[in-house]
Amino acid sequence: MKFAPASVLVTGGAGFIGSNFIHSFIAANPGCQVTNLDCLTYAGNLKNLTAIENNPDYSFVKGDITDAPLVAQILADRRIDAVVHFAAESHVDRSITGPEIFVRTNVLGTQVLLEESRKHWQSGAVEGFRFLQISTDEVYGSLGDTGFFTEETPLAANSPYSASKAGADLLVRAYHETFGLPTLNTRCSNNYGPYHFPEKLIPLLIHNIINNKALPVYGDGLNVRDWLHVRDHATAIEVVLKTAVPGSVYNIGGNNEWKNIDIVNLVCDLLDSRLGRESGENRRLISFVKDRPGHDRRYAIDASRLKNDLGWEPAYTFEQGIAETIDWYLDNQEWVAEVTSGAYREYYQKQYGGGAR
């Protein structure tokens, strides 16, 4: 039977994937309460949620997932029956220059959420309960030229970011094995789409091309990533939350591998025509730079378990998704300008007057 949550706690809902998930979930589940707990780091942007900020099904709490009393209070007061846990430090490059916050948020934060969820679930305050950990294919490490990550691939994280996510995934497993907490764990490949912070490859390329800035390509540009539209990720999460058996792990991906340099060339060419530039003009901005230390060579996801068990498949073709994404950035230059100038950080104060709602 399908699990039908009535009150969902989304952590990190002001970030890229969390905000896309909230839009998609609220549209598909009228009447289900969604509480967004986010402490608004540099990556948290409430402007991502302006379209639903007055929706009666939605509310925002500014707070940190490591704050156990706050988490306990939200779980109890709002009779939360599902936690969808996105909140994290998510950028590999930042984890190389400053790993501590990755351990604090991604490992300790997940443990706090699990522990408070365990107490809440064991108190019998709600009938059904699910804890869904949103994770990444990066926990599996790096592939050679062939093969795919399956859910049985051993964890072999290579960056401080992926190690912190792997640590969190193991805690999720431990809370299921030790306490029986009904947990779920998804591991997705690289996402792209609206509201993507322009430190990550695709939005960085779009932003720099528009502004005629250099396009930094790490190493030889032959590293491979497997790209999925963020809205497809959102629908997969909803399917797993509602239909997967507690304790299970699902890979999420769209079978869409690209070498970085091919993505860079594609985005350059699509923007040549949109910006009225000569064919090939944007490629002149490409600049090969020093490689990322420990740069994983290739990711490729086998998502057949998700397809076979739960019937999920992506709706976007890459051709459609990347074209729409480029158009979204061109149509939302104000959003980009506010992110790059830092103005987006003042929005919370103006909108919420300094207090949590």
Interaction between residue 296 and ligand NAD (CB under 6 A):
no
The residues with which 83 forms a beta bridge, in sequence order, are: 9, 131
Binding site partner of 204, from ligand DAU, ligand NAD, none, Cβ cut-off 5-8 A by kind: ligand DAU
Binding site partner of 184, from ligand NAD, ligand DAU, none, Cβ cut-off 5-8 A by kind: none
User: Which distant-in-sequence residues (6+ apart) come within 8 Å of 27 by Cβ?
Assistant: none
Interaction between residue 223 and ligand DAU (CB under 6 A):
yes
Q: Are 332 and 190 in contact (CB under 8 A)?
A: no
195 is catalytic: no
Structure tokens at 82: 């599902």
Sign of CA dihedral 21, 27, 30, 35: positive
137 is catalytic: yes
Query: How many CB atoms within 10 Å of residue 93?
Result: 14
Residue least distant from ligand DAU (Cβ): 136
Structure tokens at 354: 């300094």
Sign of CA dihedral 73, 104, 180, 238: positive
Which parts of 88-127 interact with ligand NAD (CB under 6 A)?
88, 90, 105, 109
Which parts of 7-46 interact with ligand NAD (CB under 6 A)?
11-12, 14-18, 38-41, 43-44
Query: Binding string, 226-265, against ligand DAU, x = CB under 6 A?
Result: ----------------------------------x-----
Q: Is 251 helix (H, G, I), strand (E, B) or coil?
A: strand
138 is catalytic: yes
Structure tokens at 13: 């809902």
Question: What is the distance, to the nearest Å, from the Cα of residue 201 to the centroid of all Cα atoms in its chain?
Answer: 14
Which parts of 304-343 interact with ligand DAU (CB under 6 A)?
none
Of 64, 137, 169, 257, the active-site residue reads: 137
Nearest-angstrom CA–CA distance, 166 and 152: 14
Interaction between residue 134 and ligand NAD (CB under 6 A):
yes
Binding site for ligand NAD (CB under 6 A): 11-12, 14-18, 38-41, 43-44, 64-66, 86-88, 90, 105, 109, 134, 136, 165, 188, 190-191, 197
Tell me the catalytic residues.
137-138, 161
